[in-house]
Amino acid sequence: MYKKVESELELAMFNGIWTTVWREKGYDLEFSDDILEQNLISTKKGEFVGTAELKPYIADEQHKINQIVPFHKHPWIYESNGSVGEIDKIALLKTFRGNGEYIALILSSIVHSSAKLKLKYLVSLMEPIFMRALRITFKVPQQQVGGKMFYKGDYVIPVIFDIGYIVDNTEEFSWYVNPAVMEHSY
């Protein structure tokens, strides 16, 4: 199951999960100032085990992420009329990583949030192995926009996800969990 963070307690759980994962991986912690939506992923028993965060994307070359990678110069981004977000804080507690079910819930929460926010593309700096899993196992449409680089404690690859394609074609993605169906099955 997944849900939007809507209380101080849920925000504390959200921050506890992603910071635990970041510390385990040796990443530098960076809290977001501007947020579109934060989601918590839970087990069927209601235990929170994962997170995903959507932030606004600003196409200005002075914006922090564009100083790392010039996403704003990519045709998908500059032709998108501002319907771009940044995905951050994708995290899943270690004991829940062996099962693709929770990755599917994280991805589904991102799709659901992107649909509500009318986002067509998401930019991100992704851990290479996870990015490969998204491309090969989950068939997430994406375009790598630069080479592997070291950033905040690990190697990352800059990528743009065509989230609009998934939103418009959820039936093509067997991992997608519709929130309306999810409420009845959990």
Q: What is the mean pLDDT of the chain?
A: 92
- State the amino acid at position 121 in one-letter form: Y
Is there a domain that residue 10 lies in? yes
Q: pLDDT band at 33, cuts 50/70/90?
A: confident
pLDDT over threshold 80, residue 185: no
CATH classification at residue 62: 3.40.630.30
Q: pLDDT band at 124, cuts 50/70/90?
A: very high
Report the C-alpha dihedral over residues 138, 101, 3, 112, rounded to 10 degrees.
20
Is there a domain that residue 183 lies in? no
Amino acid 186: pLDDT: 43
User: What are residue 37's DSSP bridge partners?
Assistant: 54
Q: How far is the C-alpha of 43 from the C-alpha of 131, rounded, in Å?
A: 23
pLDDT over threshold 70, residue 181: no
Is there a domain that residue 186 lies in? no
pLDDT over threshold 80, residue 149: yes
Please tell me the total count of domains within the chain: 1
Is there a domain that residue 59 lies in? yes
Range(s) of the domain holding residue 115? 2-177
Is there a domain that residue 112 lies in? yes
Query: Exposed (0-12), middle (13-18) or buried (19+): which is 49, by Cβ within 10 Å?
Result: buried
Q: pLDDT band at 154, cuts 50/70/90?
A: confident
Amino acid 62: pLDDT: 83
Is there a domain that residue 184 lies in? no
Is there a domain that residue 71 lies in? yes
Is there a domain that residue 89 lies in? yes
The structure tokens listed for 5 are 């963070």
Least confident of 20-29, 85-94, 114-123: 20-29
